[in-house]
């Protein structure tokens, strides 16, 4: 591989930059500090971010991104031919591939640029390193946010841990009116991730909802999408709970972000709304068993509120890091008592301040 001559702080900044990070909502939130840092370091650069249509709605009104280029994943194989047609006339000085998998590699290769920066070969999956000609140095596995920050370090760009959703005044008024419907502190409960293995039991969730309402004086409200699975879970929780929670499912991603911002506390498994809530500054209790919170948990804040059963309870499991087979059962190891302790801590440490 040729020597790395990626732009650094002492060099002239690139004029046209493309960022490839088109995974789900959580990854999009993790990309926000990257574009904010690049914009501050390279104010004159034209920055394009390749995103899927859903997460792209979260980026509305961002002054640090000049253009959103959509990748229509739902089209399957035809998504790549459509993307190729749409970017055929575009050229860039630098492409930064933050998505080290097959899809990210193909999209990166379709963007014309003399410099394509990606992960090192060890961390680049599906041979995606073949799409890049510049790579960040190899490093131990770390939190995904830190891994993305390594790209800034490599480029000589100062890190900025900045999440801003750039709500319009109208959006702020809508979320404020939504919050006024509740007289008690709102506990936003997100019961479901798109990956069912990350979900806690509905029976445990129902018991926490009842205790939060009856013992802690909170108003539980179900948040999330309006898929068939989420609506079914909401109906089941209504049956399991002594006092059914309020339901506010559906709406756009930006409406969901506004409700998470207006809530007082959030309870969620490892899912996009969890990362949105953390970025918005709403105290968030994260439920982890299937995924590793040290890699994909809340970053920079509210780590003291994470329920971690990925490694089991201290002294209870000989195995520190579970195997692929045993981690499937880890979410069921979360106890109601574990979650209530975190809720009580959140109220003491955050609501009272």
The residue ranges of every structural domain in the chain are 16-155, 169-351
User: Rounded mean pLDDT of 281-308?
Assistant: 96
Angstrom distance (rounded) from CA 333 to CA 267: 17
* Beta pairing, strands 134-135 & 186-189: unpaired
* Res 11: pLDDT: 72
pLDDT band at 265 (very low <50, low <70, confident <90, very high): very high
* pLDDT of res. 10: 52
Q: Quick one: pLDDT at residue 324?
A: 63
SS3 call for 131: helix
Q: Is the pLDDT of residue 315 over 50?
A: no
Contact 255, 224 (CB under 8 A): no
C-alpha neighbours within 13 Å on the C-beta side of residue 205: 30
The percent helix, strand, coil of the chain (3-state, each to 5) is: 40, 15, 45
Of residues 318 and 229, the one with the higher pLDDT is 229
Tell me: pLDDT of 313 over 70: no
Q: Is the CA virtual torsion 276, 30, 36, 131 positive or negative?
A: negative
Question: In this predicted structure, what is the pLDDT of residue 62?
Answer: 87
Spatial contact of 87 and 109, defined as CB atoms under 8 Å apart: no
Q: What is the pLDDT of residue 135?
A: 96
pLDDT of residue 7 exceeding 80:
no
The yes-or-no verdict on residue 172 having pLDDT over 50 is: yes
For the ranges 79-83, 178-182, 318-322, 334-338, the lowest mean pLDDT is seen at 318-322
**pLDDT on residue 314:** 43
Residue range 54-64: mean pLDDT, rounded:
89
Query: Can you say how many angstroms the Cα of residue 340 is from the centroid of all Cα atoms in its chain?
Result: 24
Classify domain 16-155 at the CATH topology level.
Rossmann fold (3.40.50)
Contact call for residues 351 and 185 (beta carbons, < 8 A): yes
- Check whether 347 has a pLDDT greater than 90: yes
- pLDDT band, very low/low/confident/very high, at 318 (cuts 50, 70, 90): very low
Sign of CA dihedral 334, 339, 341, 345: positive
The pLDDT of 252-267, averaged and rounded, is 97
Mean pLDDT of 103-132: 94
Cα distance between residue 319 and residue 338, in whole Å: 20
Alpha carbons within 13 angstroms on the beta-carbon side of residue 189 total 30
Residue pointed to by tokens 């909170």 = 218
Closest CA to 37 of 156, 136, 191: 156
* Predicted pLDDT at 326: 67
d(CA 130, CA 126): 9
Cα three-residue angle 340-25-345, rounded to 5 degrees: 20
Q: What percent of the chain has pLDDT over 70?
A: 92
Establish whether domains 16-155 and 169-351 are of one fold. yes
Q: How far apart are CA 274 and CA 191, in angstroms?
A: 11
Name the CATH superfamily for 169-351.
Glycogen Phosphorylase B; (3.40.50.2000)
pLDDT at 339 over 80: yes
Helix (H, G, I), strand (E, B) or coil at 139: coil
Answer whether residue 59 shows pLDDT above 70.
yes
The average pLDDT across 221-230 equals 95
Query: Token pair of 183, please?
Result: 């007289």
Position 317 scores a pLDDT of 47
Which has more pLDDT, 261 or 353? 261
Q: Residue 319: is its pLDDT beyond 60?
A: no
Question: pLDDT tens across 187-224, in order?
Answer: 999 999 989 999 999 999 999 999 999 999 999 999 99
For CA atoms 163, 54, 56, 129, the dihedral sign is: positive
- Please tell me the predicted confidence (pLDDT) of residue 96: 98
- For residue 211, which phi and psi values (nearest 5 degrees)? -70, -35
Q: Residue 1 has what pLDDT?
A: 44
Q: State how far the Cα of 141 lies from the Cα of 172, in Å rounded to an integer.
A: 38
**pTM summary value:** 0.91
């Amino acid at each position: 591989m040729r020597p790395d001559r990626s732009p650094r702080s002492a060099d002239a900044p690139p004029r046209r930059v493309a960022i490839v990070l088109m995974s789900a909502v959580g990854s999009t939130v993790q990309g926000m500090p990257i574009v904010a840092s690049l914009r501050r370091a390279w104010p004159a650069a034209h920055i394009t971010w390749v995103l899927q249509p859903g997460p792209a709605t979260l980026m509305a009104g961002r002054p640090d991104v000049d253009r959103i280029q959509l990748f229509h994943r739902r089209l399957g194989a035809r998504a790549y031919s459509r993307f190729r047609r749409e970017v055929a006339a575009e050229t860039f000085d630098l492409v930064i591939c933050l998505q080290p998998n097959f899809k990210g590699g193909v999209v990166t290769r379709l963007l014309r640029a003399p410099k394509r920066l990606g992960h090192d070969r060890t961390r680049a999956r599906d041979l995606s390193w073949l799409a890049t000609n510049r790579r960040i140095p190899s490093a131990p596995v770390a939190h995904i946010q830190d891994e993305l920050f390594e790209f800034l370090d490599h480029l000589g760009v100062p890190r900025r841990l900045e999440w801003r959703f750039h709500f319009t005044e109208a959006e702020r008024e809508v979320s404020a009116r939504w919050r006024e419907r509740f007289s008690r502190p709102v506990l936003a409960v997100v019961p479901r991730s798109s990956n069912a293995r990350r979900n806690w039991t509905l029976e445990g969730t129902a018991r926490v909802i009842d205790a939060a309402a009856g013992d802690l004086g909170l108003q539980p409200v179900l948040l999330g999408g309006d898929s068939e699975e989420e609506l079914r879970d909401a109906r089941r929780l209504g049956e399991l709970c002594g006092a059914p929670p309020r339901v506010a499912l559906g709406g756009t991603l930006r409406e969901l972000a506004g409700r998470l911002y207006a809530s007082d506390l959030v309870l969620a498994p490892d899912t996009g709304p969890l990362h949105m809530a953390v970025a918005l500054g709403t105290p968030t209790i994260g439920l982890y068993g299937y995924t590793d919170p040290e890699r994909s948990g809340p970053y920079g804040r509210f780590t003291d509120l994470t329920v971690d059963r990925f490694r089991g309870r201290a002294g209870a499991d000989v195995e520190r890091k579970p195997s692929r087979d045993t981690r499937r059962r880890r979410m069921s190891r979360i106890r109601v008592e574990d979650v209530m302790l975190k809720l009580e801590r959140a109220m003491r440490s955050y609501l009272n301040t």
